[in-house]
């Protein structure tokens, strides 16, 4: 991390030197034709680790009449993270392929060897950080809240204008989930003995316990596939698609997942509503932006593995998994806030403190400060299920549950755990985090930056550092 900080310091000083040399040039030059960024995908995310790989972000501004907006955008990324996940992503956005319409295509495959699973309903599922701390007497496993999850998404949306600001959307979104136990052998491979973790049959993680207890239905435990049929409406008066400083973006998306397309157990209907507003406080310098989001189940029963999915018309900045982490609640653990329905709010100040021309491109540096909040508002129905299981087959009975029994280790020795170490029904409330960031922006659209967030409640973890592309919204 010290080397990373040094890199950004050098970048800051170097860019300021360039700015001093270019300060008399016009920094409002209209971009025409193609503009692209080719970068090694070397970033950092507290939830995923260091990222390495490569990406291409390509924009077509055409004759420049709609700059800083664009006619076409291509994005390709292949990268890997040191905590065991990968990202294979291709997206395409065009305002010309269908005259008068905007087409969005997004194909993404994400194998994740250390996918976060903290249960459902936020604070109703207790997070014990001491169970991950090898130095603590109650230590269980560094990977206690992890499983193996592989996600494939293919998305096609067509945005059809009604007038200058209002559009309707129709589309399809296909998902395939493969969920399994953490691969302990893969995790332990190459590690010193003191850094290795116990096999699942000696120390099952939280996901394994939920499956064994029956809190997760056996038919859903290993994942599944489904196709969502989408329809929605969007209002967009922003002055820029990638980096707005005034205007409104509001959208409502209704997704029907029919039982007969895929292998889910029942059809369900889900609604996602997002409202974003952008204010200019000081022209070309300071703006205030906020985002409000609701994602909830309207009808039917949704499998646990798809509850984190959040739907959106727009590709950039749209979260694709449960609340917590880089795209939603910065500083809070990924997937910490998951249920049948969630709300979220983000508020952020953005300050452009340096503008300059470099290599015939328009650049600026910016700082941002933010406050994030979210909670589950529609609880998943596990309370009655857990209480029934515990009444019929007490979860503290080692003879019945063996290493899955609450209050015992794999050898049958008491360890002091209680049911309240796993569940705290009625405890869910708002989750808060706050923090700041730094951005480097080229031609208003290619954005590289850093965000650091801290949670308010230790139940959500302590903090998160995220280095990557684009503003959150």
Contacts of 228 (CB under 8 A, 6+ apart): 172, 173, 174, 175, 255, 256, 257, 270, 311
**Residue 146 near residue 114, CB atoms below 8 Å:** yes
Q: Which of 66-75, 250-259, 405-414 has the lowest mean pLDDT?
A: 66-75
Which of 45-54, 88-97, 141-150, 300-309 has the weakest average pLDDT? Answer: 45-54
Amino acid 50: pLDDT: 85
Count of beta carbons in the 10 Å neighbourhood of residue 130: 11
184 near 176, Cβ under 8 Å?
A: no
pTM of the model: 0.85
pLDDT digits (tens, 9 = 90+) for 298-307: 999 999 999 9
SS (H, E, C) 408-445: ECCCCCECCCCHHHCECCCCCCCEEEEEEEEEEEECCC
Q: pLDDT class for 16, splitting at 50, 70, 90?
A: very low
Count of residues making up the chain: 473
pLDDT in tens, 231-261: 999 999 998 877 888 999 999 999 999 988 7
* Chain mean pLDDT for the chain: 87
Residue 33's pLDDT is: 78
Residue 29 has pLDDT above 90, yes or no: no
CA distance 259 to 80: 34
In whole angstroms, how large is the CA radius of gyration of the chain? Answer: 23
What value does the mean pLDDT take over residues 251-274? Answer: 89
The answer to which of 168-177, 184-193, 398-407 has the lowest mean pLDDT is 184-193
Domain limits, the chain: 2-379+428-469
CATH number of the domain located at residue range(s) 2-379+428-469 in this protein: 2.40.160.50
Q: What does the pLDDT look like over 118-140, one tens digit per residue?
A: 999 999 999 999 999 999 989 99
Look at residue 86 and give its three-state secondary structure: strand
What's the rounded mean pLDDT across residues 428-435?
A: 98
Q: What is the pLDDT of residue 257?
A: 94
Question: What is the rounded CA–CA span in Å between residue 136 and residue 416?
Answer: 14
Mean pLDDT confidence for 251-275: 89
Give the model confidence (pLDDT) of 33-48 as tens digits. Answer: 787 766 677 778 877 8
């Amino acid at each position: 991390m010290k080397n990373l900080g040094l890199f950004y310091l050098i970048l800051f000083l170097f860019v300021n030197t360039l700015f001093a040399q270019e300060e008399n040039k016009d920094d409002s030059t209209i971009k025409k034709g193609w503009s692209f960024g080719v970068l090694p995908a070397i970033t950092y995310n507290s939830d995923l680790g260091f990222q390495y790989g490569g990406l291409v972000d390509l924009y077509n501004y055409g004759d420049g009449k709609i700059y800083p907006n664009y006619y076409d955008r291509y994005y390709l990324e292949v990268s890997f993270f040191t905590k065991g996940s990968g990202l294979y992503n291709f997206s395409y956005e065009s305002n010309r392929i269908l005259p008068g319409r905007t087409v969005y295509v997004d194909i993404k495959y994400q194998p994740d060897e250390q996918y976060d699973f903290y249960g459902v309903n936020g604070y109703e599922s207790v997070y014990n950080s001491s169970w991950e701390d090898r130095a603590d007497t109650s230590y269980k496993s560094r990977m206690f809240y992890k499983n193996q999850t592989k996600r494939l998404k293919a998305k096609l949306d067509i945005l059809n204008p009604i007038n200058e600001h209002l559009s309707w959307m129709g589309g399809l979104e296909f998902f395939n989930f493969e969920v399994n136990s953490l691969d302990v052998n893969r995790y332990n491979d190459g590690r010193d003995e003191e850094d290795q973790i116990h096999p699942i049959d000696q120390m099952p993680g939280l996901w394994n316990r939920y499956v064994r207890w029956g809190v997760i239905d056996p038919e859903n435990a290993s994942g599944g596939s489904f196709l969502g049929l989408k329809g929605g409406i969007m209002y967009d008066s922003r002055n820029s698609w990638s980096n707005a400083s005034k205007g409104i973006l509001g959208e409502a998306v209704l997704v029907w997942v029919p039982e007969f397309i895929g292998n889910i157990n029942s059809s369900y209907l889900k609604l996602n509503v997002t409202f974003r507003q952008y204010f200019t406080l000081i022209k070309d310098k300071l703006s205030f932006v906020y985002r409000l989001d609701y994602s909830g189940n309207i009808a039917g029963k949704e499998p646990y593995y798809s509850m984190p999915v959040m739907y959106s018309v727009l590709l950039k900045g749209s979260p694709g998994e449960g609340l917590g982490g880089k795209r939603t609640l910065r500083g809070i653990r990924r997937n910490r806030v998951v249920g049948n329905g969630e709300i979220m709010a983000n508020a952020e100040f953005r300050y452009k403190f340096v503008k300059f021309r470099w290599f015939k491109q328009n650049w600026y540096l910016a700082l941002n400060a933010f406050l994030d909040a979210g909670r589950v508002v529609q609880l998943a129905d596990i309370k009655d299920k857990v209480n029934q299981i515990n009444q019929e087959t007490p979860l503290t009975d080692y003879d019945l549950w063996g290493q899955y029994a609450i209050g015992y280790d794999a050898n049958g020795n008491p360890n002091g755990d209680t049911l309240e170490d796993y569940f705290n029904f009625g405890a869910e409330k708002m989750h808060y985090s706050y923090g700041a960031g730094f951005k480097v922006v080229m031609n208003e659209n290619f954005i590289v930056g850093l965000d650091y967030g801290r949670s308010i409640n230790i139940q959500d973890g302590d903090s998160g550092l995220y280095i990557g592309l684009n503003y959150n919204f």
